[in-house]
Amino acid sequence: MPTATTDAYHHLADRLQKRGVNLDQVKERLKAQRVETPSWGYSDSGTRFGVFKQPGAAITIQEKLEDAAMVNRMTGITPDVAMHVLWDLADDLPGVKRYAESLGVRIGSINPNVFQDQEYKFGSLANPDPAVRRKAVDHMLDCVEIAKQVDSSLLSLWFADGTSYPGQGDFRQRKHWFQEGLKTVYDRMPDDMTMLVEYKFFEPAFYHTDIADWGMAYCFSRHLGDRAKVLVDLGHHALSTNIEHIVAFLLDEGMLGGFHFNNRRYADDDLTVGSTNPYELFLIYHELARAEEGGAPEIAYMIDQSANLKRKIEDMVQTVMQIQTAYAKALTVDLRQLRQAQSESDVLMGERALQEAFGTDVEPLLSVVREEMDVPADPFQAYRESGYQEKIEKERGIRQGAGGLGQ
């Protein structure tokens, strides 16, 4: 007997057919979707004013991998786990790799830390002290070797370098130091490794940031070579920045290498994906989905957020579901209507083509896709019913330790 879900699914299939959307292709693309979760998203975190402890929060890399594996079991699309060196460094890297694989996940991007140590008070690659610049380069070179040991092909770089007062540093000299340091690391990377260069327009420096926007990240990457790309963090933009335009531009240039998914209210990145502007997330995915039509570009999709108020794993599952929803809606756009409207400068119909897709209820489609992938149709509810949260809260409790962000 048909259920409400199957009825809704067939109704949606009829609507998509009228839009010229191939439902089988949509399902295959949804099944192929992959998003990396961050190890630091499973550990204690907080604000600039303090760390908020949660019962069950992970401390060791093994615990972080276990939590990430649980998210992958619930969603089916998160087999990669980003590792933050210093927060996750382990003596037995081959053992960490084997443990991840035993859980059904693997180590993803390697993220150096050149902002936490006291020596980096005045910067890392742009520090006036050559010894500090050398320390930062050496650390990144160590991360290249770590990546080799865990079979990672992504080196993900973010720098806190900048100045807070006019006259504190020479802009052009600092740029040259950055180019020299990045080139040293780039030249030591294996041929199958990609360097992702992230940007942020302010904070912790307030007068200038050495890699302040996507254009600067683009220039640094272009100078390095074809294995250096721009990493777009959705939180690292001023209010009203048209991120989907940036995405489209970088896609057309072949320079979009990665995403850090999150959401911002002002200009930082620790809100749950899609929590404040889901339409923006949809518009970004529309550009990504269109780019896939000519062959999927190699883009590393990553989550970069830390739940301070929500339970860690629940927040991660919710985030993945938001990303799946945005992607699914983007795949339902009536491209025939959109292209015709654009060619005729029919502003209203062009906008309507996007708004109709954004307003489409894709939950029946996602439920069917998840069931065909042998994961729960409702990952969030399944997690709440799994007993895993109660288990880790009982076994781990609240502890002091090198959890990650804000420690």
For residue 77 the two structure tokens come to 């699309």
Task: Check residue 407 and give its pLDDT.
Answer: 47
Backbone angles phi, psi at 313, to 5 degrees: -70, -40
Whether 281 contacts 328, CB under 8 Å: no
CA distances from 182 to 115, 140, 163, 176 (A): 16, 9, 19, 10
Contacts of 221 (CB under 8 A, 6+ apart): 195, 197, 228, 229, 230, 255, 257
Domain around 225: 33-394
Identify the sign of the CA torsion 167, 173, 177, 179: positive
DSSP class of residue 203? S
Site of tokens 């929500």: 310
**pLDDT reported for residue 294:** 77
Domain count, the chain: 1
pLDDT of residue 49: 84
Tell me the per-residue pLDDT of 56-109, one tens digit each, with 9 for 90 and over.
999 999 999 999 999 999 999 999 999 999 888 778 999 999 999 999 999 999
Count other Cβ atoms within 10 Å, centred on residue 17: 11
Residue 136 near residue 181 (C-beta atoms within 8 A): yes
What Å distances lie between residue 299 and 15, 78, 254, 256, CA to CA? 30, 15, 10, 7
Contact 83, 61 (CB under 8 A): yes
Identify the CA nearest to 36 among candidates 140, 142, 156, 138.
156
Within a domain: 49: yes
* Residue 45 · residue 94 · CB < 8 Å: no
> Around Cβ 351, how many Cβ atoms within 10 Å?
12
Burial class from Cβ neighbours inside 10 Å (0-12, 13-18, 19+) for residue 92 reads exposed
Assess if residue 256 is contained within a domain: yes
Token pair of 256, please?
Answer: 């979009």
Residues 6+ apart with CB under 8 A from 173: none
- C-alpha angle 407-306-400 in degrees, rounded to nearest 5: 35
| Position 278 in a domain | yes
Residue 407: count of CB within 10 angstroms of its CB? 15
Q: What is the dihedral of CA 172, 176, 182, 188, to 10 degrees?
A: 170
Minimal CA–CA distance to 89: which of 156, 150, 46? 150
63 falls within a domain: yes
pLDDT recorded at residue 28: 97
Query: Any idea what the CATH number is for the domain that residue 282 is in?
Result: 3.20.20.150
pLDDT of residue 2: 52
DSSP strand pairing (208-209 vs 162-163): antiparallel
Q: Which residues of the chain have pLDDT under 70?
A: 1-2, 401-407
Q: pTM to 2 decimals?
A: 0.95
The answer as to whether 17 is a domain residue is no
Asked if 265 and 238 count as a contact pair (C-beta separation under 8 A), the reply is no
Q: What is the pLDDT of residue 403?
A: 55
